[in-house]
Amino acid sequence: MLTFVGLGLCDERDITLKGLEAVKRADRVYAEFYTSRLTVSLDRLERVFGREIEILERKHLEEESRKLVDEAREHDVVVLVPGDPMIATTHSSVVFEAKKKGVEVRVIHNASIVSAIAGVTGLHVYRFGKTATVSYPYRGIVSRAPLDVVRDNLSINAHTLLLLDLNPEPMTIAEAVSILENVDDGTLDHFAVGVARVGSEDGLVVCDKFYRLGDHDFGKPLHSIVVLARTLHITEYEFLREFANAPASLESLVE
Amino acid sequence: MLTFVGLGLCDERDITLKGLEAVKRADRVYAEFYTSRLTVSLDRLERVFGREIEILERKHLEEESRKLVDEAREHDVVVLVPGDPMIATTHSSVVFEAKKKGVEVRVIHNASIVSAIAGVTGLHVYRFGKTATVSYPYRGIVSRAPLDVVRDNLSINAHTLLLLDLNPEPMTIAEAVSILENVDDGTLDHFAVGVARVGSEDGLVVCDKFYRLGDHDFGKPLHSIVVLARTLHITEYEFLREFANAPASLESLVE
């Protein structure tokens, strides 16, 4: 059996009871940290879970996924993944491959930035549109894709969650702003919310014009950005004004 | 301190270690089951958590929220919520009120249908647009709102998660289809995916034309529906074809 266990947003105590049971019962425990990151060390995970954990690299879940699936045919294999395991399409591909080969698959869900973002920003979850990722420039080329997604979402008056690239190093909000400035066509004039370390005790949420978010000190990663919809519900506005240091001019968005 | 603890998708073992610690340490433990439901009884939760749990009704978190907030000023109060606690705007209002009064608030996130839906359907999470809820008719009037959200999402080629009303009783997929047929303008001719009991061992996922979903037996609630975007990524199609019994004609959506 192949079990994907979500580790949630922050540390070793965000695992569920069901997830921990699966870890304790497994023949072999793997973890991958390239589709998402925790703020806790591998050592600490091993100590708290009482298991040795082997790190999977990207290739182990992509080109070489057959090895993992074959191992799960004979053994009880757990793969630990920060956040919710099925957010990354990499993992759904492995699930597909395993199921197709008749290997039993189990997914133990957990919190993900995709759902937690509403809570920390006070924004209504049903008003979020498509999600996008801001990537590092590739061979000097900056992708416009995330700004296209923002434009799509603005056309239906929806918020946009922008996740920031994790590899080789987790991108900061300041880096994201400076990358997107190269391809901006006015999107950076919109209001946005920068969030850091969602789900941890020292999380930070700041609302400002998108282009100004880079001037705030968000501290350590992980960072994400929400570009606000064309209008805000009054309670969304009040929350951002009160707890995200939003400028008074944000009021112009209230419908 | 007021701590909202997410219970995740199904049963008493979906709580996180952090959540369980908060429950054990609390002076008073409440739970609310009107914004979402678990498939487990209160008795069982009380037994496994080793605590007496008092059920909050809607009014306790709305008109009478001041009582809860005042209690949390003096005592360590936990409110258990199925799924992720901050998905419901009711809870963000209470958080707002408490923070404003200087009462410390903590949120322990957990899995939510909003993020888990991607995993169980094989659909890419970043392709979901706005979420909507199908409500029971109010005084005989059926709301067009969910179909308007589907139309918005189709205009940007995004999937739509439709949550189904929980009160007075969790709505089934068959009921949702028959309610929406009253206000349909062609949306029900699109392909959709019906999902039941996400995150449980006996979950079910079926892809068909939206109007035909009512003919399938999805068993016990909770049920939800995803209306598919105008096009599908090839891996989304393959997943639905292989594991959701999608008709061969779904292939016409592959881009």
All CATH 3.30.950.10 domain ranges in chain A, comma separated: 113-253
Question: Which tens digit of pLDDT belongs to each residue from B222-243?
Answer: 999 999 999 999 999 999 999 9
Helices (H) and strands (E) in chain B, counts: 9, 10
Q: If pLDDT is split at 50, 70 and 90, which confidence band does B35 have? A: confident
C-alpha to C-alpha distance for A83 and A71, rounded to whole angstroms? 24
What's the mean pLDDT in A53-82?
93
Span B142-151, average pLDDT? 98
**Residue ranges, CATH 3.40.1010.10, chain B:** 2-108
Closest residue in B to A132 (Cα) is: B126
What is the reported pLDDT for B90? 78
pLDDT tens-place string over residues B160-207: 999 999 989 999 999 999 999 999 999 999 999 999 999 888 999 999
What pLDDT, on a 0 to 100 scale, did the predictor assign at position A86?
Answer: 79
Is B180 annotated as belonging to a binding site? no
On the question of pLDDT at A250 being above 90, the answer is yes
Query: Tens digit of pLDDT for each residue in A95-151?
Result: 999 999 999 999 999 999 988 999 899 999 999 999 999 999 999 999 999 999 999
- pLDDT band for position A211 (50/70/90)? very high
User: What's B2-108's CATH class?
Assistant: alpha beta
Give pLDDT tens digits for A68-86.
999 999 999 999 999 998 7
Residues of B in contact with A126 (CB under 8 A): 130-133
In tens, the pLDDT along A135-176 reads 999 999 999 999 999 999 999 999 999 999 998 999 999 999
Picking from B110, B155, B111, the residue whose alpha carbon sits closest to that of residue B129 is B155
Do residue A109 and residue B119 have CB atoms under 8 angstroms apart?
yes
Using only C-alpha atoms, chain B has a radius of gyration, in whole angstroms, of: 20
Q: How confident is the model at residue B82 (pLDDT cuts 50, 70, 90)?
A: very high
**Residue A39: is its pLDDT beyond 80?**
no
Contact A152, B130 (CB under 8 A): no
Return the closest-CA partner of residue B89 out of B11, B15, B197, B163.
B163
User: Residue A131: helix, strand or coil by DSSP?
Assistant: coil
Using an 8 Å Cβ cutoff, are B156 and A129 in contact?
Answer: yes
Q: Is B67 on the interface with A (CB under 8 A)?
A: no
Confirm or reject contact between B112 and chain A (CB < 8 A): yes
Residue of chain A with shortest Cα separation from B160: A129
CA-nearest of A94, A64, A97 to A79 is A94
Residue B16 at interface with chain A, using a CB cutoff of 8 Å: yes
> Cα(A120)–Cα(A116) distance, rounded to whole angstroms?
7
Range 167-226 of B in CB contact (< 8 A) with A:
199
Distance CA B72, CA B94 (A): 11
The nearest CA of chain B is from the CA of A250 a distance in Å of: 18
> Does B50 contact chain A (CB < 8 Å)?
no
Q: Which of B38, B26, B30 is nearest to B58 (CA)?
A: B30
Name residues whose C-beta falls within 8 Å of residue A82's C-beta, 6 or more positions apart in sequence.
A6, A7, A8, A9, A33, A35, A36, A37, A38
Q: Considering chain B, what percentage of its residues have pLDDT values greater than 70?
A: 100
A146 contact B CB<8A? no
Among 3.20.80.10, 3.30.950.10, 3.60.21.10, 2.30.40.10, what is the CATH number of A113-253?
A: 3.30.950.10
- Radius of gyration of chain A from its Cα atoms, rounded to whole angstroms: 20
